Structure 1
Amino acid sequence: MFHPLRVAEIERLTDDAVAVTFQVPSELRETFRHVPGQHIALRRTVDGREIRRTYSICTPASDEPALRVGIRLVEDGEFSTYALKELAVGDTVDVMAPTGRFVLEPRPGHFVGIVGGSGITPVLSIVATLLARCPDARFCLVRSDRTAASTMFLEEVADLKDRFPDRFQLVSVLSREDQQSGLPSGRLDEGRLRELLPALLPVGSVEGWYLCGPYGLVQAAERALRALHVPRDRIHEEIFHISEPAAPASALAEAALAGAAPTVTTAGSVPAAGTALPGGPAPFRAPAHSTVTATLDGRAGSWPVLDGEPLLETVLRNRADAPYACKGGVCGTCRAFLVSGEVRMDRNYALEAEEVASGYVLACQSHPVTEEVELDFDR
C-alpha cells in the first residue's frame, strides 16, 4: 500500500546524486518505522503509466522515523532523472512502507560492510544504528567509489568515524582517482579482496558481512569471502544495479555464488541458492495450461496464466494491489511463499539461500512448471 508523503528536504550530495527526506505524519509513524538496511518503493504516474523504483533508507532507525533516501542518477533512468531534475520540496510522492531483508538488528559483535557507489545507502543506516545502540559492537566499512567527488554521504561517514573512533574502521578505495593516502586506486576485484581482508581484520571472527552495490562488486566480494572460508550464512547481499542479462539455465552452477542462479523450485523441496540441481539443471517445460492461486491480504483468487508471462503479471491483471517494485528480481518486494506446485525463477538477486530453501520465490521472475501453482503473499 502506498501513502502520499510530502518532500521535506532535497540535499545535493554529488553532481549526480541527491538525498530526499520525506515528512512522515504522526498517524503513519508506525507504518514507516524501519529496521536498519530496509528500503522503500516510490511511485509516480506519467501519461497513465506507473513508474516504481526502490531506494534504501539511509537514516538510523529511531522512535521518531526519519525517512531519507539516497538517489543516484542512472542513465536513461525515468525516476532518478525526475528526482534530480524536477522533484522539489513540497511535492508529494507515493511511498510504500519499508521492506527488505538486507538488515542487521543491532547486537554485539564484529561486522563488515563492503559497498560500492550508492551501495553505501543502506549500510549507512546499519552502521549508525548499530554503533549508537551497542557499545560492544564494531564495524569495518570497505567502500569503493569512482572518485572523491562522486562519493555519496562523505560527511555522514566522516562523522561516524569522529564519533566512534575505536569501533568504526573505514577503508576507502577510489577506482579512477589516486589518493594522497590509503590504498592504491583500482577496482576491488576478487583477488584484491582476498589479499586485503585478512590484512585488515580477523576474517574468521566476523559475525556478519554486508555486501551492497553493483552486481560485479557483490559477486567478487562473495567469491573472495567463500575462498577465505566464510560460512554462507554470514554473508548478506543486496544488488543495486544489474547490467548483465539473466543467466541461462546451463549457467546455474557458475552463477550460483552470485545469488543469480535461476532455479526450478518446488514447495517443500526447494534447492538453496547456490546449489546445482541433481544431475545438472532441469529442463524447463512450460505446461500447456496453468493456473495460479494467490492469497493477498487474506483474500485468495485463481486465474489462468497467459503463455510466457511471469506469475506476478497474472496476479496484477486481477489484483492491482499485488506488491512489486523493480520487476527485475532485485528488490524482493514481490516475495511470495510457494504453497504448492513448481515454478522456474529466471533470476534471483534478492532472496537469501535460506529463504529459497524455506519455499520463497520472486513472483516477478517465476513461471509455472506445473498446471497448478499456489502462492501466498501474506506469509
Structure 2
Amino acid sequence: MFHPLRVKEIERLTDDAVAVTFTVPPALRTAFRHTPGQHITLRATIDGQEIRRTYSVCTPATGDPVLRVGIRLVEHGAFSPYALKELAPGDTVDVMAPAGRFTLTPRPGHFAAIVGGSGITPVLSIAATLLAEEPDAQFCLIRSDRTTASTMFLEEVADLKDRYPQRFQLVTVLSREERQTGLPSGRLDENRLRTLVPALLPTAAVDGWFLCGPHGLVQGAERALRALGVPRARIHEEIFHIANGAAAPAPAGPAPAHSTVTATLDGRSGTWPVHDGESLLEAVLRNRPDAPYACKGGVCGTCRAFLVDGEIRMDRNFALESDEVDAGYVLACQSHPATEKVELDFDR
C-alpha cells in the first residue's frame, strides 16, 4: 500500500546524486520503521506515465528513525532525472512501507561489506545501526567509486570512522582517480578482491558479507569470496543495476495453451486467465492494480510471492536468495506458467 508523504529536504550529495528525506506523520511512524538495509518503493506520475522505483533507506534504524534515501542519476532513467531536477521540498510522493531482506539485525560479531557506487546506501544504514546498538560488533567496509567527487555519503562514512575507530574499518578504491595514499586506482574485480580481502581481515572469521552495487561487482565479489572459502549462506547480495546483456533471460519453454493464475493479496483471492507471453504479475495487475511491484526486472524483489500450486518458469532472478527459491518463493514479474493452473500467495 502506498502512502502520500511530503518531501522534507533534498540534499545534494554529488553532481549526480541527492538524498531525499520524507516527513512521516505520527500515525505512520510504525509502518515506516525500517530494518537496517531495507528499501522503499516510490511512485510518481512523470510525463503522464506512472513510474515506480525502489531506493534503500540510508539512515540508522535507531531512536526515532528518519526516512531518507539516496538517489543517483541513471542515464536514460525515468525517475532519477525527475528526483534530481524537479522534485522539491514540499512536494508529495507516494511511498510504500519499507521492505526487503538485505538486512542485518544487530548482534555481536564481525561483519563486512563490498559495495560499489550507490550500493553504499543500504550498507550505511546497516553499519551505522550495528555499531550504535552492538558494542561487541565490528564492521569492515570496502567501497569502490569512480572518483572522490562522485562518492556518495562521504561525510556520513567519515563520521563512522571517527566515532568507532576501533570497530569500523574503511577501505576505499577509486577506479578513475589516483591518490597519494591508500590503494592504487582501478576496478575492484574478482582477481583483485581475492588478493585484497585476505590482506584486510580474517576472511573465515567474518559472520556476514553484504555485497551491493552493480551486477558485475556483486557477482565478481561473490566469486572471490567463494574462492576464499566463504560459505554461500554468509553472503548476502543486492544488485542495483543490470547492464543490458548482463544476464540473458532463461530460454522460453512450452507454455500451456490456456493457463490461469489464482492470486491471494491482502486476504482476497481471485482467478484470472494468463494471456500468451504475459508474466504472472501482468495477469494479476490486469485485475488487481494494487499488486506489489516496482522494477519489473527481477532486481528489487517487491513482487515476491509464494508458489502455492502449479509450476512456473522464472526468466531471471537477482532478488531472491537460494533458500527462498528452495522454499517456494518466486518473482511474479519474471514468472510464466508452465502448468494450466498456477496459484500465488502475495501475503506470505
Question: What is the rounded CA distance, in whole Å, between the counterparts of 1:221 and 1:353 in structure 2?
Answer: 17
Alignment of 1:217 with 2:217, yes or no, is yes
Partner of 1:268: none
Say which SS state the counterpart of residue 330 (structure 2) adopts: strand
Say which SS state the counterpart of residue 193 (structure 2) adopts: helix
Residue type at the aligned position of 1:84: L
Q: Give how far 1:244 is off.
A: 3.3
Question: What is the rounded CA distance, in whole Å, between the counterparts of 2:286 and 2:250 in structure 1?
Answer: 28
Question: What is the rounded CA distance, in whole Å, between the counterparts of 1:61 and 1:201 in structure 2?
Answer: 27
What do the CA deviations read for 1:76-119 (whole angstroms, capped 9, x no partner)?
11110000001111111110000000000000000000000000
Partner of 1:6: 6
Alignment of 1:143 with 2:140, yes or no, is no
- Contact in 2 for aligned 1:37/1:125 (Cα 8 Å): yes
Q: Give how far 1:65 is off.
A: 2.3
Q: Give how far 1:248 is off.
A: 4.7
Residue type at the aligned position of 1:294: A
Structure 1 gaps, min length 5: 251-282
Give the ranges of 4+ consecutive aligned residues of structure 1 lying more than 4 Å apart after TM superposition.
none
Say which SS state the counterpart of residue 318 (structure 1) adopts: coil
Say which SS state the counterpart of residue 336 (structure 1) adopts: strand
Q: Give how far 1:49 is off.
A: 2.2
Partner of 1:133: 133
Alignment of 1:296 with 2:265, yes or no, is yes
Partner of 2:347: 378
Structure 2 gaps, min length 5: none
Partner of 2:77: 77
Q: How does 1:199-348 map to 2 (within 5 A)?
A: 199-245=199-245, 246-249=247-250, 284-348=253-317
What do the CA deviations read for 1:114-135 (whole angstroms, capped 9, x no partner)?
0000000000000000000000
Question: What is the rounded CA distance, in whole Å, between the counterparts of 2:222 and 2:248 in structure 1?
Answer: 18
Partner of 1:369: 338
What do the CA deviations read for 1:176-198 (whole angstroms, capped 9, x no partner)?
00011110000011000000001
Q: Give how far 1:243 is off.
A: 0.9
Partner of 2:93: 93
Say which SS state the counterpart of residue 326 (structure 1) adopts: coil
Question: What is the rounded CA distance, in whole Å, between the counterparts of 1:82 and 1:107 in structure 2?
Answer: 39
Question: What is the rounded CA distance, in whole Å, between the counterparts of 2:261 and 2:10 in structure 1?
Answer: 43
Question: What is the rounded CA distance, in whole Å, between the counterparts of 2:286 and 2:39 in structure 1?
Answer: 26
Question: What is the rounded CA distance, in whole Å, between the counterparts of 2:179 and 2:47 in structure 1?
Answer: 46
What do the CA deviations read for 1:200-246 (whole angstroms, capped 9, x no partner)?
00000100000000000001000001101110000000000001334
Residue type at the aligned position of 1:212: C
- Contact in 2 for aligned 1:343/1:367 (Cα 8 Å): yes
Q: How does 1:32-47 map to 2 (within 5 A)?
A: 32-47=32-47
- Contact in 2 for aligned 1:335/1:363 (Cα 8 Å): yes
What do the CA deviations read for 1:148-186 (whole angstroms, capped 9, x no partner)?
000000000000000000000000000000011110000
Question: What is the rounded CA distance, in whole Å, between the counterparts of 2:48 and 2:185 in structure 1?
Answer: 46
Question: What is the rounded CA distance, in whole Å, between the counterparts of 1:237 and 1:244 in structure 2?
Answer: 20
